[in-house]
Structure 1
């Protein structure tokens, strides 16, 4: 009988509802595993991502559902394949999935979680929506709070170079979805991702005692390549090895 009581206690303990976990979701625009040292890149130094990988689960067979940004984000945030919703453009996917279906963050919101978006989660035009501080193709019903990280992007003060369609090197910088490099004057807060990290930290502290789903979107390394000058110093271009040229 004593062993039966112990067994019943263990069963009851195992049935105790688990604590409500908070969710911090971080996405980085155009970052590939081949650029991360925890995925065996030998040149890049990514210590913070490496620490997350060492303390959690590192996936080796996780695949995007579409080869471009908008449909891919709409897919994993709605839980539907692009071909199921015919969401192939730079939209949130809300129109196609309908108002009766929930997005991933909306599911948390509808179950009593505080949900917040910091910068680009659903599709957002980079750099245009970052320059304007606009919402992009957001899904407002998914969030209790939103924050857009406005920044000057390719117009940021600093040494600039256009490395696309500029064979003579006569153009320093150009707007739009092109490869303009800017070694920005100032600290992290001169660019969008610095502001995003600061706001995310603020929200974490503010809502630490309640259930929350916090989605944080970094826009780099999507073009334009804007970062404080200190981030360029560990990678002098003269030390970067070029891939084999294919004739």
Structure 2
């Protein structure tokens, strides 16, 4: 069983780019609390998510398995009943796995009904919440339809004097014009408005307080915990409360990472993505200048709230007992590469910030360091299991524990490539390209220099990040790089053929099988006579 004085605070932001933090090199956005966290732990410089979209990325974080394995390929694609989750692994160790904030989990209602699992039962709740104990779940998209369940944050806003049809949308994520008219925060044109709610009642401080509420209660409970504090921001709607709404200006907006050459005869999938409405708008400089200051303000608010939270851990005497992890589910193009949203594999989308503070003495040598090993989102699940003293079930969890890296050591056989996947069947691009839903898969293989994208039905994409760090030149059809494309495709093939569905039989159990076990069970296959059996029994040490 784990020690009662071991905990994990697992912080995730939504749609936070790795390069929009001070410690990752942003020249204008200062994030002293996140930077201080990096100074106490290890900052990973090459961390990649398993899919650059919320739902499948998070399902990979929460299961330790690739998208191809868990099958939740897009937002609101249910995670099938029976898929093992981090919560189940930790529960077996006596650890509470608790949620405050967002998961984007959709329950497999059909599967639970088929198996006769009541939604309100302990098993039903765990299955519906991706293995989390939902202290407070809020995915940040509050429904307005009649009969829909209202998240607690809506009730909170009403109780504090902010009534509305949909308080989340009409107050926390909308602004006001000069004459007092509501300005819809969904619209990019209104990103410069002050959110129509005081800062202390906006989403980020609210979720921070709810996390502290849980930690207080858990301290009395005494059991070890893993708290997933999953912030909704800086994900759109891009609108921030005062004073964060005008803390940054157009002067703070960095030049877009894009070239005119990218729009000249692009890969068909890339071209279709550039033609989406969100991409066309973010390709306009006036849109970037309007939205990015708000995006930066939302990040600054998160950093300030983390300062409050970290001080709280100090005051409660929990800092030295708590592993702290800070990351994101994916990035945000913000007009880079002529794209909006996060639907492809450029660094600004698929690479994420990852900072881990291991409080153990064994990690002292690595404090304040950076690590350039290729790590993946699925590596957190095995890291958490090991932190609480468990053994990682290798036939289920596909990630690799970061424990050794957190102690400043490099394992002798670390991964050679990082893998990410994308299913674009839910985008209008599918129709633009004339593809069927099962023909819309993309696969990224990155070896630290060359990034290869396999696009079934089309030629591949390839970038050389050593020669072209901004990923401007697609080498997917350049004959001089045929060998690199072939080499990385072999990595993809090897990964694709790796067994990933044998989750009910462990390697250790398989290793116990063999002739001796068969003989002990009275199974004699292929023996000629009694003498041969007797000799075998003696050789196997069977009396």
Please say whether Structure 1 and Structure 2 have the same fold, judged by a TM-score greater than 0.5: yes
Partner Cα distance (1:227, 1:185) in 2: 9
Map residues 1-247 of structure 1 onto 2, 5 A cutoff.
21-91=6-76, 94-95=79-80, 98-99=81-82, 101-123=83-105, 139-140=128-129, 142-149=131-138, 150-151=153-154, 152-156=167-171, 159=175, 172-173=183-184, 175=186, 179=188, 180-181=190-191, 182-208=193-219, 209-243=222-256, 246-247=259-260
The count of corresponding residues between Structure 1 and Structure 2 is: 204
- Determine which structure has more spread, i.e. the larger CA radius of gyration: 2
Q: Could you tell me how far 1:110 is from its partner in structure 2? A: 3.1
CA contact (8 A) 2:12 2:231 kept: yes
Partner Cα distance (1:244, 1:31) in 2: 17
Q: 1:241 to 1:75 in 2, by over 3 A?
A: closer
CA contact (8 A) 1:71 1:87 kept: yes
3-state secondary structure, aligned to 1:232: helix
CA contact (8 A) 1:184 1:190 kept: no
TM-score by length of 2: 0.34
Structure 2: where are the runs of 5+ without partners?
107-126, 139-152, 155-166, 261-543
Q: Could you tell me how far 1:193 is from its partner in structure 2? A: 1.8
Partner Cα distance (1:74, 1:139) in 2: 12
CA contact (8 A) 1:26 1:216 kept: yes
CA contact (8 A) 1:160 1:172 kept: yes
Match of 1:129 in 2: none
Partner Cα distance (2:53, 2:256) in 1: 24
3-state secondary structure, aligned to 2:60: helix
Partner Cα distance (1:244, 1:30) in 2: 17
Give a deviation string over 1:200-242, Cα, whole Å, max 9, x none: 0111122123311111110111100232211134312355344
Q: Could you tell me how far 1:198 is from its partner in structure 2? A: 0.6
Structure 1: where are the runs of 5+ without partners?
1-16, 125-137, 162-170
User: Aligned Cα RMSD in Å?
Assistant: 2.9
Q: Could you tell me how far 1:20 is from its partner in structure 2? A: 5.2
Match of 1:6 in 2: none
- Runs of 4+ with >6 A deviation: none
Partner Cα distance (1:172, 1:160) in 2: 5
3-state secondary structure, aligned to 2:44: coil
3-state secondary structure, aligned to 1:219: strand
Partner Cα distance (2:92, 2:258) in 1: 53
Q: Could you tell me how far 1:82 is from its partner in structure 2? A: 0.7
Q: 1:244 to 1:112 in 2, by over 3 A?
A: closer
Q: 1:88 to 1:204 in 2, by over 3 A?
A: same
Partner Cα distance (2:52, 2:253) in 1: 27
TM-score by length of 1: 0.70
CA contact (8 A) 1:191 1:226 kept: no
Q: 1:154 to 1:212 in 2, by over 3 A?
A: same
Partner Cα distance (2:247, 2:233) in 1: 17
Structure holding more helix per residue: 2
